[in-house]
Chain A
Amino acid sequence: GAGVSQSPSNKVTEKGKDVELRCDPISGHTALYWYRQRLGQGLEFLIYFQGNSAPDKSGLPSDRFSAERTGESVSTLTIQRTQQEDSAVYLCASSLSGSGSYNEQFFGPGTRLTVL
């Protein structure tokens, strides 16, 4: 079956513009996660969804960042008034469930965001 998909694969934008990044999780996965990966660094947790609610938004770096999820389906990460420090690869992952016994996370290929 299809894995986690993300779009666009690359996004170049000018400083100050808004961007929307999309994630399509694996069908049936109730948990969805967004991470950010700066060049040469590990993954930085941004937000976690269980269904369409977000119990943990603690990783969002500022109020310029927001995310939504429709049901147990697609999620969008929006960055408003982009800054150069927002340049990174944004990764999405999904898992069968976010709680209880461990559930493996399946990652998408990421969206590479470059803010000029």
Chain B
Amino acid sequence: SQKIEQNSEALNIQEGKTATLTCNYTNYSPAYLQWYRQDPGRGPVFLLLIRENEKEKRKERLKVTFDTTLKQSLFHITASQPADSATYLCALDRGPGGYNKLIFGAGTRLAVHP
């Protein structure tokens, strides 16, 4: 069955450093991979989408890579700030031809310390 793995342990980093979160998947060939941010008591908020034919995507301080051979995505936050502290979820979907059913990982909690 399809499986998505994210580091279950919290990632603690110092303000100003780059945070790197990992998402690995098996038994699946997604057309898209997405990253969401979730704050306590709130629903996820979409951050970035990367397609299977894209190696890298950037948005402001965020960078996502997608390696379909390794079946892995890396999510980077550069110049991290305490306000970046949240849980980050990766999600796969079926892409065009299907519908946007999302399969989520359990998320990794990021804590950025001043």
Give A residues with C-beta under 8 Å from B.
Answer: 4, 31, 33, 35, 40-45, 48, 50, 55-56, 91, 93, 95, 98-110
Q: Report whether B102 and A102 are in contact in the complex, using a CB–CB cutoff of 8 Å.
A: no
Q: Is the CB of B89 within 8 A of A42?
A: yes
Which A residues are CB-close (under 8 A) to B45?
A: 107
CB contacts (< 8 Å) of A44 on chain B: these are 104
Complex CA gap A109/B40 in Å reads 10
Choose from A41, A45, A108 the contact partner of B43 (Cβ within 8 Å): A108
Alpha-carbon distance between A48 and B100 when the two chains are bound, in angstroms: 9
**Which of B32, B44, B46, B96 meets A43, CB within 8 Å?**
B44
Known A-B contacts A42-B107, A109-B41, A109-B42; the reply to A102 vs B101 at CB < 8 A is no
The 10 closest A-B pairs by CB, nearest first: A107-B43, A42-B104, A42-B106, A98-B99, A43-B104, A99-B99, A104-B46, A107-B44, A42-B105, A91-B43
CB contacts (< 8 Å) of A50 on chain B: these are 99
